[in-house]
Structure 1
Amino acid sequence: MIKAQIGNHVKVHYTGKLENGEIFDSSVDREPLEFELGSDGIIAGFQQGILGMAEGEKKTLRIEAEDAYGPYHQEGVMEIDRSLMPNDVPLEIGLGLQLKNPDGDVFNVMVTDLTDEKVTFDANHPLAGQTLIMDVELLEIRPNIILAS
């Protein structure tokens, strides 16, 4: 029986929940998630939980914030004068935007508060600081095959 290991391509269905049971994402009603174990772009705790699983196996992972989207950083919250925002941007709470800092770096933010004078942005990932509960089903493992030349 093949067990998932670093370098394997895997296909999984998952349902992600917060500790209070609120579902934040699920692949169950769409295509399964496919990725290479050990690759960037998939949270570390999710990948670690899949290592050693066999095809058809199901399990529930508890992923602490440090192994998910990291801790919540209060310094990621900023408030600016609304007059500095372009007039053509329809501001509303929950709107995701990309901002550029004076050094030219681009980063993602979400509008979290609006007043007539101020706009508050949060640069933290929406799941930062959260423990994630992931119900996972490993559907397929494709081992890497190295062909000798």
Structure 2
Amino acid sequence: MQIADNTVVQFNYRLKGENGEVLESNAGQAPLAYLHGHNNMMVGVEKAFAGKAEGDSFTVTLPPAETYGERKEGFTQRIPVKHLLGAKRWQAGMTAVVQSEQGQRQVTILKVGKFMADVDLNHPWAGRTLTFDLEVLSVRAASEEEIAHGHAHGEGGHHH
């Protein structure tokens, strides 16, 4: 079965920066799953998956506009330290997770005080050209429930 709208794709990935350094990978972990055609994946990655099938492995290099977006200058905010998730002690340059109206988002600590922190709201990889090594493990038709919910269920997907 080929990847098309309303299919659930399970895959492994390795994300590399401009110099080939590995930024992130799910090697040795459970595969990821997403519902194709429902805006659950970065635009460029979803386009790259279209038409692929189980067993396909490929590499795609994408510009910022198709992944985490361009960097926005001055895209900063002051937030209470108690809202930063991921560590007990914070320092400038560290990456934290914060809960927003759109869900969790990664931020970079610019300056931290006793109660407040200045954070860069750009994703840490915004503005970078990224290379994805992708391996399609399985492709199946989505269930009616998955389509109604707008996301994949089961291993690598959403669990209710």
Shifted more, 61-70 versus 36-45: the winner is: 36-45
Q: Is the 8 A contact 1:10 1:37 kept in 2?
A: yes
Q: Which runs of 5+ in 1 are unaligned?
A: none
Q: Give 1:126 shift.
A: 0.8
Q: Which runs of 5+ in 2 are unaligned?
A: 83-87, 145-160
Distance in 2, matches of 1:144 and 1:97, equals: 31
Match of 1:111 among 109, 118, 133: 109
1:38 is aligned to 37
After superposition, where does 1:1-149 map in structure 2 within 5 Å? Answer: 2-77=1-76, 90-93=89-92, 94-96=94-96, 98=98, 108=105, 109-113=107-111, 120-144=118-142
Q: What is the TM-score of this pair, normalised by structure 2? A: 0.70
Distance in 2, matches of 1:16 and 1:41, equals: 17
SS in 1 for 2:125: coil
Distance in 2, matches of 1:26 and 1:99, equals: 23
SS in 2 for 1:48: helix
Q: Is the 8 A contact 1:13 1:28 kept in 2?
A: yes
Q: Give 1:107 shift.
A: 8.1
Larger radius of gyration: 1
Q: What is the TM-score of this pair, normalised by structure 1? A: 0.75
Shifted more, 62-71 versus 34-43: the winner is: 34-43
Q: Give 1:77 shift.
A: 3.4
Distance in 2, matches of 1:20 and 1:47, equals: 23
Distance in 2, matches of 1:3 and 1:99, equals: 36
Distance in 2, matches of 1:9 and 1:96, equals: 30
Shifted more, 65-74 versus 91-100: the winner is: 91-100
Query: Could you list the runs of 4 or more consecutive aligned residues of structure 1 that deviate by over 4 angstroms after TM superposition?
Result: 84-87, 104-108
Deviations 1:69-103 (A, max 9, x none): 1100012135x6xxx9669x843121525488xxx
Q: Give 1:114 shift.
A: 5.4
- The percentage of counterpart residues that share the same residue type is 24
Q: RMSD value over aligned CA atoms? A: 3.1
Distance in 1, matches of 2:119 and 2:19, equals: 25
Letter in 1 for 2:133: D
Q: 1:47 to 1:107 in 2, by over 3 A?
A: closer
